[in-house]
């Protein structure tokens, strides 16, 4: 079993569960043959799907439960009554050490609430954040928080900056990532109290990260920084606004290419180049939002994703496990704490 690792799955979460989950596992299995899966969900639905995929026989185990979290369920209600749901049990498998990470395409709010309750926070972190990738002119950037916290104070934003910095080092492999705070303008006086105060803390420069300053909405896709930090309300809306516009552009282009015979022939000639653009901007490529700051790896797949997208979310979870992500965050936080304590010690002498 050396080198093998186990990922637990909320097999009932997402718009097209459990079919898409099992299909996603099929794709993930070809890419990651060293990974085993615990599928939490309804056995009567799952077993026939697994029977059709004999290659998964050895790497998949079903853990039966009849209960599941629905999209419209309130997190508080799930916390009170949801201990037997597929989502809760999948997260709990990580807490109990049965799995190294969990992936769910279900209700985001419920998954965050369960994960916070079951996995607890990393020592030194006050609030978790949801982080995701964003395509940019330079490659890709990390953005957080994407919706875990609607109201954030300056300290939360500083914590997000530290976690995002570590995340970019590990997952994007950037040695000295640049970190920017999302704001309405780059002048120091603009913005609300939280971003202004967070910027002044980050500017003091005794944190081990490279703070770029404020960035504006257009700087996200522009690739001005490697890590974009914001509160969850703004970050969620910024990301989804951009996604909405991307979908609109794709639609306009499709309309254009089918508007005349000449345009159709033009499309056929440019097709292989255009497919590269499609791959570069494929939302499935950016599927898999990471819950940072928790004492365990939890990845949220987009609820409406297909098998390829779900397989990518599994891939993100496996990568975070393989790189010892949380260990690295803990080390960075200790390093950070040491830096923070230093001036105080010096003053004491």
Binding flag, residue 135, a second copy (CB under 8 A): yes
Q: Which value, to the nearest 10 degrees, does the dihedral of the CA atoms of residues 228, 232, 237, 239 take? A: 40
Binding flag, residue 153, a second copy (CB under 8 A): no
User: Which span (19-27, 80-88, 225-233, 332-340) binds a second copy, by CB under 8 A?
Assistant: 225-233
Binding flag, residue 334, a second copy (CB under 8 A): no
CB 341, min distance to a second copy, A = 34
C-alpha closest to that of 146 among 81, 52, 243: 243
User: Which span (88-96, 205-213, 252-260, 314-322) binds a second copy, by CB under 8 A?
Assistant: 252-260
Do strands 129-136 and 289-292 pair parallel, antiparallel, or not at all (unpaired)?
antiparallel
CB 244, min distance to a second copy, A = 3
| Site mask for a second copy (CB under 8 A), range 47-66, x = bound | --------------------
Q: Which of 94, 113 has the CB closer to a second copy? A: 113
Q: Candidates 51, 66, 187, 341: give the one binding a second copy (CB under 8 A).
A: 187
Please list every residue from 291 through 330 that binds a second copy, using CB under 8 A: none
Q: Candidates 84, 204, 248, 334: give the one binding a second copy (CB under 8 A).
A: 248
> In the chain, how many H helices and how many E strands?
12, 11
Q: Name 223's Cβ contacts closer than 8 Å, sequence gap at least 6.
A: 136, 137, 138, 139, 141
Q: Which two tokens stand for residue 218?
A: 């257009």
Binding flag, residue 70, a second copy (CB under 8 A): no
CB 272, min distance to a second copy, A = 8
317 touches 103 (CB < 8 A):
yes
Q: What DSSP line would sit under 17-73, residue for residue?
A: TTHHHHHHHHHHHHH-TTEEEEEEE-HHHHHHHHHT-GGGTTTEEEEE-SB---TT-
Could you give the CA distance from residue 210 to residue 161 in angstroms, rounded to a whole number? 10
Q: Which of 51, 187 has the CB closer to a second copy? A: 187
163 touches 331 (CB < 8 A):
no
Binding flag, residue 67, a second copy (CB under 8 A): no
Binding flag, residue 234, a second copy (CB under 8 A): yes
Q: What DSSP line would sit under 86-137, residue for residue?
A: HHHHHHHHHHTTS-SEEEE-S-HHHHHHHHHHHH-BPTT-SS-EEEEEEEET
C-alpha closest to that of 27 among 37, 40, 12: 37
Binding flag, residue 262, a second copy (CB under 8 A): yes
Q: Candidates 79, 122, 246, 322: give the one binding a second copy (CB under 8 A).
A: 246
Binding flag, residue 190, a second copy (CB under 8 A): yes
Residues in contact with a second copy by CB under 8 A are 72, 74, 109, 135-137, 147, 150-151, 182-185, 187, 189-192, 216-222, 230, 232-234, 236-249, 251-253, 255-257, 259-260, 262-263, 265-274, 276-277, 280-281
């Amino acid at each position: 079993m050396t080198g093998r690792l186990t990922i637990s799955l909320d097999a009932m979460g997402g718009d097209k569960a459990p079919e898409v989950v099992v299909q996603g596992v099929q794709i993930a299995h070809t890419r990651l043959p060293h990974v085993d899966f615990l599928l939490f969900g309804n056995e009567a639905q799952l077993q026939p799907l697994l029977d059709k995929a004999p290659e998964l026989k050895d790497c998949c185990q079903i853990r039966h439960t009849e209960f599941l979290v629905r999209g419209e369920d309130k997190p508080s209600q799930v916390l009170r009554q949801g201990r037997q749901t597929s989502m809760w049990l999948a997260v709990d498998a990580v807490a109990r050490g049965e799995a190294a990470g969990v992936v769910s395409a279900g209700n985001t709010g419920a998954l965050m609430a369960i994960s916070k309750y079951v996995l607890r926070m990393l020592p030194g972190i006050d609030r978790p954040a949801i982080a995701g990738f964003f395509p940019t002119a330079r490659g890709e950037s990390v953005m957080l928080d994407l919706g875990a916290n609607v109201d954030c104070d300056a300290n939360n934003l500083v914590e997000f900056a530290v976690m995002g910095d570590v995340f970019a080092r590990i997952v994007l492999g950037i040695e000295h990532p640049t970190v920017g705070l999302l704001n309405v303008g780059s002048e120091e006086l603009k913005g609300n109290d939280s971003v202004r105060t967070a910027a002044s803390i980050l500017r003091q420069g005794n944190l081990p990260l490279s703070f770029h300053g404020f960035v504006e909405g257009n700087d996200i896709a522009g690739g001005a920084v490697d890590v974009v930090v914001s509160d969850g309300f703004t970050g969620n809306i910024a990301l989804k606004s951009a996604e909405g516009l991307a979908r609109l552009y794709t639609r306009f282009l499709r309309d254009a290419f089918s508007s005349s015979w000449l345009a159709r022939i033009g499309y056929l000639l440019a097709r292989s180049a255009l497919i590269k653009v499609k791959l570069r901007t494929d939302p499935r490529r950016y599927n898999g939002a990471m819950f940072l700051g928790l004492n365990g790896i939890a990845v949220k797949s987009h609820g409406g994703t297909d098998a390829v997208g779900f397989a990518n979310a599994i891939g993100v979870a496996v990568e975070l496990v393989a790189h010892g992500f949380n260990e690295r965050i803990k080390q960075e936080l200790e390093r950070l704490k040491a830096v923070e304590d230093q001036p105080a010690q010096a003053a004491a002498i």
